[in-house]
């Protein structure tokens, strides 16, 4: 290639980049209002239900009925500001930080296992931070790291995703490392969530369908081994799941599941009324956290709980709609990853509190108490909103 030809190609690339930049600037529009309003509505309803579920314990522990509401409300305001800020940034910029977020999350997952760094609660070492003042789960950062890195990497490979070398091995290694670290904490529900997010993004990215079948078969085999007791991980939870009302463990390990089912059954069709729950008065453990949906069912009944599930369903459908209409593969994959995370987390939480699956300890997005988790969830919503701003005009 002559010097003149190289110069012509360089000039052509510069013109292409300038044209692409102009197109992005021209397509930069407002935030997707349905997705934004659904997010804000779920956050607002979540704060109301958190106050209702937490005020007896807050009054008992601190003398301030609104203690948990105030703390969560502050984090909600911070999270909304972060969401709007992230939504206003061109999502292409997140490519540059994807690998660093993933590397940092893996580093924190390793750090949490080192004695003296990790914080242990209920026999699980999943947190980093400073005692009760500030703590967070590195697994929450790992979710963002996987979503950003997978979206960036997969979007660049195109047809190479159909090969084992480029489409399977690198992502399987990353997911395997994260899964092992989370198994050691242990954090089974978070491990399942991250593996599922990665698998969904690989599927959308274009891997061969037989790899999806192989992965589903392996997941089914592991689940069978877990449920049948072949894997001795929290085997007591399997026994409770099979027979939650067995009198042998009604006051022991099965107490939480039993009280959750009592709360759901007490709600009936219309519920006992907002703020009128009986199980929240120190009967149901984690009533303001992982089992807040049980209080929702008790106070709002089947109709109220169904409406909240409908809001989540609308949010998920709108997220996938944004992914389908994204300008490029990177934006589509990022929206798919975030939306899949929300869908799976909601399903698993409701499945746990209703005893559809064994108790795995997973929070309900926007509702469960946890300030840093809420900020991270709203930041993820900002990623989807950022994608929505550059959708091609219809």
Band of residue 144 on the pLDDT scale cut at 50, 70, 90: very high
Instruction: Using the predicted structure, report yes or no on whether residue 25 has a pLDDT greater than 60.
Output: no
Instruction: Using the predicted structure, report yes or no on whether residue 350 has a pLDDT greater than 80.
Output: yes
Q: What is the pLDDT of residue 11?
A: 75
Write the pLDDT tens digit of every residue in 159-199: 888 888 888 999 999 999 999 999 888 888 888 899 999 99
Write the pLDDT tens digit of every residue in 370-379: 989 999 999 9
Q: What is the pLDDT of residue 200?
A: 92
CA distances from 146 to 22, 137, 267, 288 (A): 30, 15, 39, 28
Instruction: Using the predicted structure, report yes or no on whether residue 364 has a pLDDT greater than 90.
Output: yes
Instruction: Using the predicted structure, report yes or no on whether residue 26 has a pLDDT greater than 50.
Output: no
Average the pLDDT over each of 114-118, 170-174, 346-350, 363-367 and give the range with the smallest value.
114-118
Gap between the Cα atoms of 50 and 287, Å rounded: 9
Q: Which residues of 76-103 are buried (b: 16+ CB within 10 A; e: fewer)?
A: bebbbebbeebbeeebbebbeebeebbe
Give the start-to-end residue ranges of the domains of the chain.
31-388
Instruction: Using the predicted structure, report yes or no on whether residue 19 has a pLDDT greater than 70.
Output: no
Q: What is the pLDDT of residue 185?
A: 85
Average the pLDDT over each of 5-19, 83-97, 132-146, 357-371 and give the range with the smallest value.
5-19
Write the pLDDT tens digit of every residue in 255-297: 888 899 999 999 999 999 999 999 999 899 999 999 999 999 9
């Amino acid at each position: 290639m002559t010097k003149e030809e190289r110069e012509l190609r360089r000039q052509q690339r510069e013109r292409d980049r300038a044209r692409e930049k102009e197109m992005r600037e021209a397509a930069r529009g407002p935030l997707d209002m349905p997705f934004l309003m659904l997010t804000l509505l779920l956050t607002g309803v979540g704060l109301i239900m958190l106050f209702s579920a937490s005020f007896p314990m807050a009054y008992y522990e601190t003398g301030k009925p609104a203690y948990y509401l105030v703390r969560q409300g502050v984090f909600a305001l911070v999270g909304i500001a972060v969401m709007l800020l992230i939504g206003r940034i061109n999502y292409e910029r997140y490519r540059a930080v994807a690998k660093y977020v993933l590397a940092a999350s893996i580093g924190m997952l390793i750090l949490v296992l080192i004695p003296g760094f990790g914080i242990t609660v209920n026999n699980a070492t999943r947190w980093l931070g400073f005692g009760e003042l500030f703590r967070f789960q590195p697994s929450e950062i790992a979710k963002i790291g996987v979503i950003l890195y997978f979206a960036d990497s997969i979007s660049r490979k195109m047809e190479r995703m159909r090969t084992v070398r480029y489409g399977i091995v690198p992502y399987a290694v990353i997911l395997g490392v994260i899964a092992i670290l989370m198994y050691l904490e242990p954090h089974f529900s978070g491990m399942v969530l991250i593996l599922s997010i990665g698998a969904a993004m690989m599927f959308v990215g274009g891997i061969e369908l037989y790899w999806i079948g192989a992965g589903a078969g392996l997941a089914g085999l592991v689940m069978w081994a877990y449920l049948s007791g072949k894997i001795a991980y929290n085997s007591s939870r399997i026994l409770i799941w099979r027979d939650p009302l067995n009198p042998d463990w009604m006051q022991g390990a099965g107490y939480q599941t039993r009280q959750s089912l009592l709360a759901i059954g007490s709600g009936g069709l219309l519920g006992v009324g907002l703020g009128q729950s009986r199980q929240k008065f120190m009967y149901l453990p984690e009533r303001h956290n992982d089992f807040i949906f049980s209080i929702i069912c008790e106070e709002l009944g089947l109709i109220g709980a169904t409406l909240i599930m409908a809001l989540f369903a609308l949010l998920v459908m709108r997220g996938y709609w944004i992914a389908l209409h994204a300008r490029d593969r990177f934006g589509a994959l990022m929206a798919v990853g975030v939306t899949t995370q929300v869908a799976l987390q909601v399903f698993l939480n409701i499945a746990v509190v209703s005893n559809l699956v064994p108790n795995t300890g997973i929070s309900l997005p926007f509702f469960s108490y946890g300030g840093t988790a809420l900020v991270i969830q709203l930041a993820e919503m900002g990623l989807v909103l950022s994608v929505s701003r550059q959708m091609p005009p219809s």
